[in-house]
Amino acid sequence: MTSGIRHFTDLSALSGSDLRGILDDAAVRKARLKAGERSKPLEGKVLAMIFDKPSTRTRISFDVGMRQLGGETIMLTGTEMQLGRSESIADTAKVLSRYVDAIMIRTTAHDRLIELTENATIPVINGLTDDTHPCQLMADILTFEEHRGPVRGKTFAWTGDGNNVLHSLLEASARFSFNVNIAVPEGSEPEEKYIDWSRANGGKVMITRSAEDAVRDVDAIVTDCWVSMGQEHRARGHNVFLPYQVNVELMKHAKPDALFMHCLPAHRGEEVTDEVIDGPNSVVFDEAENRLHAQKAVLAWCLGA
Ligand code: CP
Ligand code: NVA
């Protein structure tokens, strides 16, 4: 990070110790909030949020998180800004940097995030791109560790589509030293560069076509929608993905106490059955809650609070 600006673009862009520090801070902030303590370290700070795709959790958790920290937010969509009339990302970054203290962006091509980051003089946070979703993984690791203790050395299985959330899971696996078993149908593999990066940085990654093989004896099973936002054009028949559905039968191959994790929104009856997502091993709503706590720590790290 040569500029000295603390961007939160990807887990691969931060050190393991920085990420661990953010998670530790998230746990402390969460405990203090539950104990009724309120501190306002971001009083007077403004976060601009740009959404080029829909959102429930990311939008509300950043908004509430910023308010809890004493700051304010401005909610924007790309189409209502001049961005939608072809003002460049670079110029937009320079203008916003004169008004606000940080930018959170959910967008399409990852290059748009990078261009924003390269031209902003304030921190930029990745709220999901076509390629990655790092804030989700911060919440997910926080959640796993709340339920099962240190994630180091544990094994996660991913079944379904090899998408942006899996890419960030792969980055997390190297940064937090856990293993990832991946089961995806042909044509839905994650991008090779994320597997290569994870392995090059100490991650242990196994990839197979068999969901049963991937989930055998794992500590957590993670899945996500079969068709991500903006990927509708490459949607394929659900029969291709059905063998990757997380159902009670599949869960039986994992450890008996294996967690079921999903970033939400879920497509019940597709990637997961009601029995699993509403079952005793599911922590999906803890993950959703922890978006708030993890992102407050990300905001505090970015803004030096
Ligand atoms: N998991 C997640 O990012 O949810 P939203 O799309 O609702 O923000
Ligand atoms: N992979 C999903 C995640 C949604 C939070 C998508 O990009 O649509």
Domain ranges of the chain: 11-132+291-302, 135-287
pTM above 0.95, yes or no: yes
One CATH from 3.30.950.10, 3.40.50.1370, 2.40.50.140, 3.40.50.720 for 135-287: 3.40.50.1370
User: Which pLDDT score is estimated for 33?
Assistant: 97
Q: Write out the catalytic residue numbers.
A: 106, 133, 136, 224, 263, 291
Mean pLDDT taken over the chain: 96
Give yes or no on whether 11-132+291-302 and 135-287 have one common fold: yes
For ligand 2, is residue 58 a contact (CB within 6 Å)?
A: no
From atom 7 of ligand 2, which residue's Cα is the shortest distance away?
228
Whether the pLDDT of residue 145 is over 60: the answer is yes
- Go through 7-35 and write b for each residue having 16 or more CB atoms within 10 A of its CB, e for each that does not: bbbbbbebeeebbeebbebbbebbeeeee
Quick one: average pLDDT of 25-35?
A: 98
ipTM surpasses 0.95: yes
Distance between alpha carbon 21 and the CA centroid of its chain, in Å?
17
Which atom of ligand 1 approaches the CA of 58 most closely?
Answer: 8
| Tokens at 82, concatenated | 């001049």
The answer to whether 188 and 162 are in contact (CB under 8 A) is: yes
User: Which pLDDT score is estimated for 238?
Assistant: 81
Whether the pLDDT of residue 234 is over 80: the answer is no
Whether the pLDDT of residue 3 is over 80: the answer is no
| Tokens at 231, concatenated | 């990927």
Closest CA to 11 of 170, 196, 144, 143: 170
Q: Report CA(165)–ligand 2 centroid distance (Å).
A: 7
User: Which pLDDT score is estimated for 2?
Assistant: 52
Q: What's the pLDDT tens digit per position in 170-181?
A: 999 999 999 999
Quick one: average pLDDT of 199-216?
A: 98
**Bridge partners, 104 (sequence order):** 49, 125
Query: Which numbered ligand comes closest to the C-alpha of 60?
Result: 1
Q: What is the SS3 string spanning 47-68? A: EEEEECCCCCHHHHHHHHHHHH
For ligand 2, is residue 52 a contact (CB within 6 Å)?
A: no
1: confidence class by pLDDT, cuts 50, 70, 90 = very low
Query: Which numbered ligand comes closest to the C-alpha of 58?
Result: 1
Whether the pLDDT of residue 61 is over 50: the answer is yes
Closest CA to 57 of 264, 227, 299, 262: 264
Please state which CATH class domain 11-132+291-302 belongs to: alpha beta
Calpha distance 108→113 (Å, rounded) = 9
For ligand 2, is residue 228 a contact (CB within 6 Å)?
A: yes
Q: What's the pLDDT tens digit per position in 64-92?
A: 999 999 999 999 998 899 998 999 999 99
Q: Residue 145: exposed, middle, or buried by beta-carbon count in 10 A (0-12, 13-18, 19+)? A: middle
Whether the pLDDT of residue 266 is over 60: the answer is yes
238: left (phi over 0), alpha (psi -120 to 50) or beta: alpha
235: confidence class by pLDDT, cuts 50, 70, 90 = confident
Q: pLDDT over 90 for what percent of the chain?
A: 94
User: Which pLDDT score is estimated for 232?
Assistant: 86
Quick one: average pLDDT of 119-143?
A: 98
Quick one: average pLDDT of 116-121?
A: 98
